[in-house]
A and B are shown apart, each in its own frame.
Chain A
Amino acid sequence: MAIEAGLIALGAGLAVGLAGLGAGLAEKDVGTAAVGAMAENEKLFGKGLVLMVIPETIIIFGLVMAILLWTKMV
């Protein structure tokens, strides 16, 4: 039982962690581009912000997987 719980926890952690890594890599370039574009033209702030947040979905999926795994454990 202990091993089971441990493995599930490990899986949940990996899910969120790796997803976070992926989203971070994605948002890195988009973020610098958004900041750069905004430096030239203030009006691009809204669009830049929105475009930057789009890769967040990856994390949410990771979180959902982690939660589903967690409910299996509890």
Chain B
Amino acid sequence: MQRFWGKKGNYAYVCARIKAKKSLLLTKDVYPKLLMMDLNEIGRFLGETQYHVEMTELASRYSGVDLIELGTSRNLARIYRQIIGFSRGELREMICSYLGRWDEWNIKTILRGKYSGASIEEIQEDLVPAGRLSEDTLNSLLALETVEEILEALRTKEGITIPEEVMAAYRESRTLEPLEEYLDKVYYSRLLASIRTNTKPGKLFLAFVQKEIDVTNLKTLLKLKRENVPPERCKGYFIDGGSELTMKELLRLASVENFDRLVEELAKFSFYEEIKEGLRIAKESGSLIEVTLALQKYLVKQSETFSHIYPLSILPVLDYIIRKKIEVDNIRIIARGKESGLDVEIIKNLLVV
């Protein structure tokens, strides 16, 4: 049947499975209960939900915060790879390119680890093999000794070529920064290239990815302005491809005098309503947490709207991927908050629900 449809992709199967998975996600009213439990109980509770595979595997060796953190991130990796596993055709390509951000995260983690001389086990614990690169591939990259060897392996196996000027910048500056920026750019350009805009869902997908790029750039911009970084240095941090915050706009906003002026300038954009409150708090207290949370919630709302418009397309899958990540993040925030003894109210305000 696959050959009959060519590279179309098995939308019916994947979307039905994703919807079933979505119904098993934690609902809003579970979080207040989790907030009242302590770490052991949270671990046990997770062991009775769809995290049970990872929890039973790890419970004999870890406990408390470590168990929850490791269990949830492994579960995330497993589920994402499972989704890649059962999708076919162009659907699979699009999901792979979207989840490429995890490949990029893993490569960065490996580079950083090697650069700072961490041991293999230590780096392994931070890897989340949730993208196209499987655990074995990542382990084989880990086995190499130096940064150059890893980059060479990437070139031959994955087709990621680091251009000469970036390599020169790396050798000159002796930091990984140029490499990491370049990897970011590669990821986004690949992602944007793989989206098919000839279908309506494809257009919405593209719009959504562009919004994501906007949000990422905005976060970077706010951070840079708060630290009062001079505008010339800002350019390297921004990613090209956003819809409202184009490169030109970003550079213009970067050269605004100070943070308060920036907030005023931002009033022109569509997402201003969502982040108004957060920006006000940021102006007063200097903390960007509120804004970041508001931006996250904005993205989640967007993806939820998208997912219902075309039920047999990539959009529900995207929605699930984002929600799953949010759920894992929330659980980890609760776990870490409890571990450090934060008050329940404070933890509650850090959740994206």
Contact = CB atoms under 8 A, between A and B. Distances in A.
Interface string A13-40: 0000000000000001110111111111
A32 B24 contact: no
B13 A40 contact: no
Interface string B172-193: 0000000000000000000000
B155 interface: no
A35 to B, nearest CB: 7
A39 B21 CA distance: 10
Nearest to A44: B20
B14 interface: yes
B223 to A, nearest CB: 39
A35 B12 CA distance: 10
Interface string B1-32: 10000000010111111011101100000000
Nearest to B23: A41
A33 B15 contact: yes
A12 to B, nearest CB: 28
B20 A37 contact: yes
Nearest to B10: A32
A33 B15 CA distance: 7
Given A29-B12, A32-B10, A32-B12, A37 B17 contact: yes
Contacts of A41: 20, 23-24
Contacts, number: 35
Interface residues on A, range: 10 to 19
B17 A40 contact: yes
Nearest to A35: B13
Contacts of B14: 36
**Which among A28, A33, A34, A39 has the greatest number of chain B C-beta atoms within 10 A?**
A33
B1 A28 contact: yes
B1 A36 contact: no
Nearest to B14: A36
A40 B12 contact: no
A39 B17 contact: yes
Contacts of B10: 32
Nearest to B1: A28
Nearest to A39: B17
A27 B196 CA distance: 28
B1 to A, nearest CB: 7
B251 to A, nearest CB: 46
A55 B23 CA distance: 26
Contacts of B23: 41
Contacts of A37: 16-17, 19-20
Contacts of A44: 20
Contacts of B1: 28
A30 B20 CA distance: 14
17 contacts: A28-B1, A30-B12, A33-B13, A33-B15, A34-B16, A36-B13, A36-B17, A36-B86, A37-B16, A39-B17, A40-B17, A40-B20, A40-B21, A40-B24, A41-B23, A41-B24, A44-B20
